[in-house]
Structure formats: C-alpha cells, structure tokens
A and B are shown apart, each in its own frame.
Chain A
Amino acid sequence: MTDATAAPGAATIPGDLTASRPRAATRRRFRPNGSAVVIALYLLFLMLPLYWLLNMSLKTNAEILGSFTLFPRNLTFENYATILTDPSWYSGYVNSLIYVTLNVAITLTVALPAAYAFSRYSFMGDKHLFFWLLTNRMAPPAVFALPFFQLYSSVNLFDTHIAVALAHCLFNVPLAVWILEGFMRGVPKEIDETAYIDGYSFPRFFVKIFMPLIASGIGVAAFFAFMFSWVELLLSRTLTAVDAKPIAATMTRTVGASGVDWGVLAAAGVLTIVPGALVIWFVRNYIAKGFALGRV
C-alpha cells in the first residue's frame, strides 16, 4: 500500500478512535473519501455486467441486434411474459426450487445432530470422520457425474427431484456440518448440563433450547445449502431429462434454429438471480460470519 492510500487510513481503521465524536452522526453522514471511492469502483465492476443483462432483457431482439443502446429505447416486458407463460420455461424454475428446498431440508436434518456430536463429544475416529466429510466438499463434480447417473438410474431415481437433492447433499452436508459445528462451539457447554439437570431429555433439549440458541447458524447453513444447490449445474443437468430439469439447463434451449433469442435468454438469467437476491436479504447480517463458517 502506498502512502497516498495510507493518508486517509486513520479514517479507515475499524472502531476508529474518534469515538468521542457522536458516532451516530458520523455514521449517517456519507463522507466521500478514499475508501468510498474504492468500494464504489468495486461495486461498479460487479454491477456493470448485471446491468447489461437487465438492460438486454428489457429490449426487443431487433433492438439488441440492430443498434447499440445503453438503455432500452422501446421498453418491453415481452421476454418476461414469454417465460412466465410458457410451461416449459417456468417449470424449470419450479423444478429448481423443489430440489433446492428438498436439499436444504435433508441437509439440515442430518447435519444438526452430527454437528452437535462433533462440537460436544470426542469419539473414536471423530477427527478422521470430520476430514473425510470435508473431502467430499472437495470432490470435483465432474468426477461424480457419470457414476451418479448410473447409480440413480439403477435405483430408478433418474429424472426425479429427490435424486438431484440427494446428489447435492454430497457437498452440502459436509459444509453444513462444518458451519454448524463452528456456531455450536460458541454455545457454552454449561447450558447443556443445566438442561439435563433440569430433567430435559436430549431431543427436547435440542429442539426447545439448543436450536433457538444457534438459530442464526441454522439460517446461515440453510443459506449456504440453498446457494450451492441453486448454482450447481453439472450434476443437476446430468441427473435430469424432462420432469426435473432445472432452469439453468433449460436456458441452453434458447439456442434454436433461428439463432439465439437473446432477449429471452437475458430475461431468464435475470429471473435466476431473483431468488438468490431475496435470500441474501434475509441473512444479510450473518453473511460475513457465515462465510467464515462460524469461525470468527
């Protein structure tokens, strides 16, 4: 870092020493400084491609290909109408949402007790088991694509939502266990002991007392399971044909005989971003801690 950026550095130190100043006032006023410029530039870099996608989704194909315009001249919602009225399009969204929800439910159900065990007890082979779980988060989906296809075909689960949900557990369960274990570690053990002395059985203690205490951790784990299941394509495409086809795979369809339908493609892209954006809004205060896997 050069001196030029270091100069306003005093202001960038977190928990600044200017605490004597009324904090609320400084927070509310937006002061243009070096940091703000850096962040603004970074956010601009992030938003430009997204803006372009949104821009294209609101244009007609004639305008997209005919002229280069920075914003839509003939604003049209035709592309969105196409997607929301055509069953072969919107069923893709429904399919994706179904298997993602199933995946989140399965992941949390199995990961919660396991994370509790890892955070509270030591047992034979626990460390090896924990690392083995993590290795599955590291397994390249490309390695598993073909065997998965054969495995799920042989048990007659091919092209069902549950098949994709189970396949995604391969990397979501280890991650959820890891995150939840981090959060559970932060809960003092005395709470468990007190509850047992008070006569709580394990299941009742777990649901009534323990789960509310790590509610934010559960939220974050659910968020991550949602995220990785929602963005994954290779496995979900390999394991589905028609009935459970995810939206991301449907998008490849726009490349038709008459060339690419750019407007609809862009609109479909924008609609895939919406669920993610909604979910982020609910967990925004825990995102940072969650990405640190509860280990901050």
Chain B
Amino acid sequence: MNKTVNQKAWFLVLPVLVLVAFSAIIPLMTVVNYSVQDSFGNNEFFWAGLEWFDEMLHSERMWNALGRQIAFSAIILAIEIPLGIFVALNMPKSGVWASFCLVLMSLPLLIPWNVVGTIWQIFGRVDIGLLGYTLDAVGIEYNYTQDFFAAWATVIVMDVWHWTSLVALLAYAGLQSIPDAYYQAAKIDQASRWAVFRYIELPKMAGVLMIAILLRFMDSFMIYTEPFVVTGGGPGNSTTFLSIDLVKMALGQFDLGPAAAFSIMYYLVILLVSWVFYTVMTNLDKRDGV
C-alpha cells in the first residue's frame, strides 16, 4: 500500500512515544549512568570511565555465561523450529479438531513462567514426579540438581514443551494462507511430498518462520525465570544463563557498575541479532507484499 506523507501522524504516535520513553529511556539511562561510575556506598559516585566495560570484556564469568547462552539458544532453535513445522504440517486443516488442537497447544504459552518452572521441577523429581520416577524405575540415573547432563536436558525439554507450540502455530498460520491452486498444480505435475514441502510450503512459510525464529531467539536469549526455578542456575554454574548471572550480579551482590556494563553489552548483542532478522523480515514482506 502506498502511504500518504503526513507529518501530523506524529500526534497519533506521540502517546506511545511518551509512554515507552518513560519505561525505556529513563531506565536505560540509569543503566548507562551506573556503567561509567563507581561507588563506595552512601550514594557517592565517581567517574570510572570505561573501566567496567573493560573488566567485563575480560571477565571469564561473562564469557562463560555467554557461551552457555548461545549453546542453549542454538539447541532450542534447532529442535523447536523443525519440530514446530512438522507438527504444523500434521495438524487438521479445519473443523472441530483444528480448534481443539489450537486450544490445547496454546495452553503452555499462557502459563506464568515460574509455574512452568514449578511444573517441570515437580515432574522431574525422582520421588514425586512422573518423569523422574519413571526414569528412575527403568534404571536411568537422573537428577537435575546434581547432574550436569540431566540439568541441561531438563531445561531444554522444558523449553521445547513451553514454546514449540508457538512455532507450530505460526507455521500453521502460514500454511493456511496457501491457496488450493498451488496444491492442484503440484498434483498435476505429480510433485512428490518433499517437493511440495520444499517448493511450495517452505517458501510460503518463510515470512512467519522468520517471526518465529526472531521471537524464539529473543525470548530464549533473555530466559530467566524457568531455569532459575528448576535448577537455580546449577549444578555449579552449568545452567546459569546471561539473565540469571546478571540478576545475581545486580540484585544479589549489588555490583552495580559491572552489572550495568554487562547489561548494556547484553542488550547490544540482542539488538544486533534482532536487527539482522528484522531487516531480512521486512525485505521478505516487501517481496510478498506487492
């Protein structure tokens, strides 16, 4: 749609601008403020320049947390995106069953995040949880508070449980928008199931899949509550992701300077990756939107 140039439209945007600026810019400036100052308590601050940034860049703790974070995001994206597409391809196309599936699948998305954590914490316990008890009964050593591998497996399965539906719903929405004519043409050409997927369904889903990847990347990169409830970041530091580490530093130890420097770099990483996705997405929009 070609839009009219109208500078007065700014007035319509103004309320959003004011509101978001209040909630975003002021706190962000506070963070910037902390990141360049040092304090000995008593609310006395003095200029520290880029010292904290330098310290954080050489801090093994932050690099380790970042490494774990990237590993986590990569693993859950690698599982959730294909699984979500696969589920969407198999969903009923219309009728009562489709609504039924949609409602049940959306359910995990609307559970408060710490309740998600609690559910899996209980579910995985060897004494009272179905999963833990079953694994224990068949003789698999499983203890998510002690064992590195079990902790990671639990956190990842939990995230897959929690968010795969989002990918599936998005992919499903993409599939629904494909006109019948495409499939009829494919059938006339005797295209294989794979060819239909590869040359019709996948390209048509590209836009929504981009949104899915963007949302999943952002949210998994900020994940805090769920792993915190289940493992508390342990055993040791093995599931301490960036947000968990940050909250520990800022609110637990009250190391404001380093935590603020950490925050800013963290935010910049997310911003950078999201910008790449966003650019790709708007380009896709433009291609399809004509």
Residue B153 at the chain A interface, CB threshold 8 Å: no
Interface hits, A136-171 → B, CB 8 Å? 136-148, 150-151, 166-167, 169-170
Residue B62 at the chain A interface, CB threshold 8 Å: no
Residue A120 at the chain B interface, CB threshold 8 Å: yes
Interface hits, B81-120 → A, CB 8 Å? 86-87, 89-95, 97, 99, 101-115, 118-120
Whether B12 lies near A273 (C-beta < 8 A) is: no
Give which listed residue, A123, A147, A169, A248, contacts B20 with CB less than 8 A: A169
Residue A77 at the chain B interface, CB threshold 8 Å: no
Q: Using an 8 Å CB-CB cutoff, how does the interface string of A224-239 with B read, 1 for contact, 0 for none? A: 0001001111100010
- A14 with B9: in contact, given A110-B19, A143-B263 (CB under 8 Å)? no
Whether A64 lies near B128 (C-beta < 8 A) is: yes
A279–B242 Cα gap in the complex (Å)? 32
Residue A242 at the chain B interface, CB threshold 8 Å: no
Chain B: number of interface residues, binned into ranges:
35 or more
Whether B28 lies near A122 (C-beta < 8 A) is: no
Residues of A near B45 (CB, < 8 A) are none
Give which listed residue, B172, B225, B246, B278, contacts A288 with CB less than 8 A: B172
A27–B20 Cα gap in the complex (Å)? 47
Q: Using an 8 Å CB-CB cutoff, how does the interface string of A34-67 with B read, 1 for contact, 0 for none? A: 1110110011011111101100100000001100
Give which listed residue, B30, B130, B133, contacts A150 with CB less than 8 A: B30
Residues of A near B271 (CB, < 8 A) are 135, 138
Residues of B near A251 (CB, < 8 A) are 114-115, 118
Residues of B near A147 (CB, < 8 A) are 26-28, 30-31
Binds A, one of B71-79, B139-147, B216-224: B216-224
Whether B94 lies near A122 (C-beta < 8 A) is: no
Whether A45 lies near B128 (C-beta < 8 A) is: no
The closest CB in chain B to the CB of A148 belongs to: B27
A43–B78 Cα gap in the complex (Å)? 20
Residue A72 at the chain B interface, CB threshold 8 Å: no
Give which listed residue, A17, A35, A38, contacts B183 with CB less than 8 A: A17
Nearest-neighbour CB distance to chain A for B70, whole angstroms, equals 15
Residue A292 at the chain B interface, CB threshold 8 Å: yes
Residue B156 at the chain A interface, CB threshold 8 Å: no
Whether B20 lies near A269 (C-beta < 8 A) is: no
Residue A189 at the chain B interface, CB threshold 8 Å: yes
The closest CB in chain B to the CB of A268 belongs to: B115
Q: Which among A52, A148, A288, A289 has the greatest number of chain B C-beta atoms within 10 A?
A: A288
The closest CB in chain B to the CB of A140 belongs to: B222
- A120 with B172: in contact, given A30-B97, A50-B107, A265-B118 (CB under 8 Å)? no
Whether A124 lies near B23 (C-beta < 8 A) is: no
The closest CB in chain B to the CB of A278 belongs to: B110
Q: Identify 20 new A-B residue pairs, CB closer than 8 A, beyond the known A140-B243, A280-B107.
A: A6-B193, A9-B196, A36-B90, A46-B107, A49-B123, A131-B278, A133-B16, A138-B218, A141-B224, A146-B251, A166-B22, A170-B23, A230-B110, A232-B113, A233-B114, A251-B115, A251-B118, A276-B111, A284-B103, A293-B211
User: Which residues of A pack against B, CB within 8 Å?
Assistant: 1, 6, 9-10, 12-17, 19, 27-28, 30, 34-36, 38-39, 42-43, 45-50, 52-53, 56, 64-65, 68, 70, 106, 109-111, 113-114, 116-124, 126, 129, 131, 133-148, 150-151, 166-167, 169-170, 173-174, 177, 185, 189, 227, 230-234, 238, 247-248, 251-252, 262, 265-266, 269, 272-273, 275-277, 279-281, 284-285, 287-289, 291-293, 295-296
Task: List, sorted by A's number, 11 A–B pairs whose CB atoms are closer than 8 Å.
Answer: A15-B180, A28-B95, A49-B119, A53-B123, A134-B274, A142-B250, A173-B16, A227-B109, A273-B115, A288-B169, A291-B170
Q: Closest 5 interchain pairs by CB?
A: A276-B110, A147-B27, A9-B193, A117-B12, A15-B180
User: Which residues of B pack against A, CB within 8 Å?
Assistant: 1, 3-10, 12-13, 15-17, 19-20, 22-24, 26-28, 30-31, 86-87, 89-95, 97, 99, 101-115, 118-120, 122-123, 127-131, 133, 161, 165-166, 169-170, 172-180, 183-184, 187, 192-194, 196-197, 207-208, 211, 218, 221-222, 224-225, 242-244, 246-247, 250-251, 256, 259, 263, 266-267, 270-271, 274-275, 278, 285
